[in-house]
């Protein structure tokens, strides 16, 4: 996800997206453990997206 897309999302949407990404990360880690993961770089992308969302949530919290 791009940072501009994340900034445009509401707080509820950010929470939902964060939950989705955490679930996806869990599934990817499970696939890595069982040797079924086709694209290991996807884990890195998901982690970065989670960090971006948490950063925006924190910025919104400070500004409020």
Q: Which of 26, 30, 6, 2 is nearest to 17 (CA)?
A: 6
Residue 43 reports pLDDT greater than 90: yes
Return the CATH architecture of domain 3-63: Orthogonal Bundle (1.10)
Q: What is the average per-residue pLDDT within 15-23?
A: 97
Question: Average pLDDT in the 2-23 region?
Answer: 94
The position carrying tokens 């940072």 is: 3
pLDDT at 8 over 80: yes
How much is the pLDDT for 64?
85
- In terms of Cβ atoms closer than 10 Å to its own Cβ (0-12, 13-18, 19+), residue 28 is buried
**pLDDT at residue 1 is higher than 80:** no
Report how far residue 34's alpha carbon sits from residue 20's, in angstroms, rounded to the nearest whole number.
Answer: 21
Q: Where are the domains of the chain?
A: 3-63
Backbone angles phi, psi at 13, to 5 degrees: -65, -40
How far, rounded to the nearest angstrom, does the alpha carbon of residue 44 sit from its chain's CA centroid?
A: 10
User: What is the pLDDT confidence band of residue 24, given thresholds at 50, 70 and 90?
Assistant: very high
């Amino acid at each position: 996800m791009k940072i501009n897309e994340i900034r445009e999302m509401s707080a509820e949407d950010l929470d939902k997206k964060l939950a989705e990404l955490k679930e996806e990360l869990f599934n990817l880690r499970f696939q890595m453990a069982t040797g079924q993961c086709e694209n290991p770089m996807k884990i890195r992308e998901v982690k970065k997206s989670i960090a971006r969302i948490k950063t925006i949530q924190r910025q919104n919290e400070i500004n409020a």
